[in-house]
Amino acid sequence: MSKLEDEYAVNTANIQQGVQILKRRKTHLMGWCIFTTSLALVALISYFLQQEMLYSWFGISPEVKQLHIPVSADAELTQFGQAPNYFFNLLSWFGWLFLKMTSAFIGAFFVIYFLKKIRFFAIRFQSFILKFVGWIVAFICIWSTLTYVQYDWNDEAADPYATAIEYKNSLHESELAQYLDHTQLAPPVKAYVLAQIALLHSPTDENAAIPYVLTLVDAEKSDPDFIQYGFSASQLWSMQQQLYGKAITPLAKSISPKIEQAQKWGNILQVVIISAFIVNVILSLILYSFSRYFAARTRRIEQNLKNVR
C-alpha cells in the first residue's frame, strides 16, 4: 500500500471505539429518559391525590377514614378504635410511594436483564422500543404487586375496629353498636360513634348516618356538656362534609382556617405538580429523541463499516 493510501486508509479501530462511546451515550440517555418518564408519572398520580395529601398533612379528611372514640367514652370502648392520625397516614403513604418507586424502577432493570438471558426475549430486546415497552410492563407489574401488598397490609392493620363495625343490613348488627346498647354513655356520645360506623361502612350508609349526625347538631346547640364529651372537631367536620358537603355547626366550622390554609397550599402545589409534569415530559421527549439519534447514527456507522470491509 502506498504512503498516500496509508494516509487516507480507514482506521476501523478508532471508529469502533467511537461507536462504543455512542452506544454508551445512547444507553445513558435512555436511562435518564426512563427516569424522567417515571417522575412525570409520579407527578400525574400526585395531581389526583394532592388534595388528600394536603388534608392529611393538616390532620383533616373530607371523609371519615378511621373510628374515633371520644375521651368521655368508657375506657373499655377504646379497644374498638383509635383516634385518626392523618399525618402518620401521610408519612406511611410517602413511605410506600418511595418503596414502590425505587423497587419498581430498579427491579424493572433486573427483570429485563434476566429476561435477556432467554433467547426469545434476547432477540426481541435488540429493539430499544420493545426493550422500553418491556421495562414499562415490568415496572407496572412490580408497582401493582407492591400496591396489593400495601392495601392488604392496611386491611390487616384496620382489623381491630373493622371487624367490630362490620354489618350487613342494619347498623345495630355490628358488634360495637350492640356493645353501646349496654352502656350508660350519653346519647350524643352514642350518636357520635354510631354515625362513624355508618359512614365507615362499605358502601357508605348515609341513610343510617344522617339521624345520628342530626342528633349531634341538636346536641351542640342545646347540650351544655357537649364540649366535655371530647368530640374531635376534625371528625365532626368530616362527617358533615361527607354528608352535606359543608360544615353546619360551630365546632365543625372552627377548623375553617385549616381548610383555607390547605386550599391555599393546594393551589400552589397544583402549579408545582403541573410544572413538574410538563418539564419531565419535555425532558423525556428530548432525551428520547437524542437516544434515537445516537441509535440511528450508530447503525449508520456500523453499516458503512460493513460496506468498507
The answer as to whether 242 is a domain residue is yes
For residue 136, what pLDDT is reported?
84
Residue 90 reports pLDDT greater than 70: no
Question: Which of 21-30, 200-209, 278-287 is least confident?
Answer: 21-30
Torsion sign over Cα 96, 87, 256, 233:
positive
The answer as to whether 231 is a domain residue is yes
Cβ atoms within 10 Å of 283's Cβ, excluding its own: 17
Residue 218 reports pLDDT greater than 50: yes
Cβ atoms within 10 Å of 107's Cβ, excluding its own: 18
The answer as to whether 113 is a domain residue is no
pTM given for the model: 0.63
Please give the average per-residue pLDDT across 245-263, as a whole number.
89
CA 236 to chain CA centroid, nearest Å: 26
Provide the domain limits for residue 192: 61-81+169-254
The answer as to whether 153 is a domain residue is no
The residue ranking higher by pLDDT, 6 or 238, is: 238
The answer as to whether 288 is a domain residue is no
CA 182 to chain CA centroid, nearest Å: 41
The residue ranking higher by pLDDT, 270 or 38, is: 270
Average pLDDT, the chain: 81
Residue 154 reports pLDDT greater than 80: no
Measure the CA–CA gap between 35 and 13, rounded to whole angstroms.
33
Residue 278 reports pLDDT greater than 90: yes
The answer as to whether 299 is a domain residue is no
Residue 294 reports pLDDT greater than 90: no
The answer as to whether 150 is a domain residue is no
For residue 5, what pLDDT is reported?
47
Most confident of 114-123, 125-134, 216-225: 216-225
Please check whether residue 68 is in contact with residue 83, taking contact to mean a CB–CB distance below 8 angstroms: yes
Please check whether residue 270 is in contact with residue 47, taking contact to mean a CB–CB distance below 8 angstroms: yes
Question: Which of 57-66, 82-91, 172-181, 197-206 is least confident?
Answer: 82-91
Measure the CA–CA gap between 265 and 50, rounded to whole angstroms.
10
Number of domains within the chain: 1
For residue 10, what pLDDT is reported?
54
Residue 29, burial from CB neighbour count under 10 angstroms (0-12, 13-18, 19+): buried
The answer as to whether 73 is a domain residue is yes
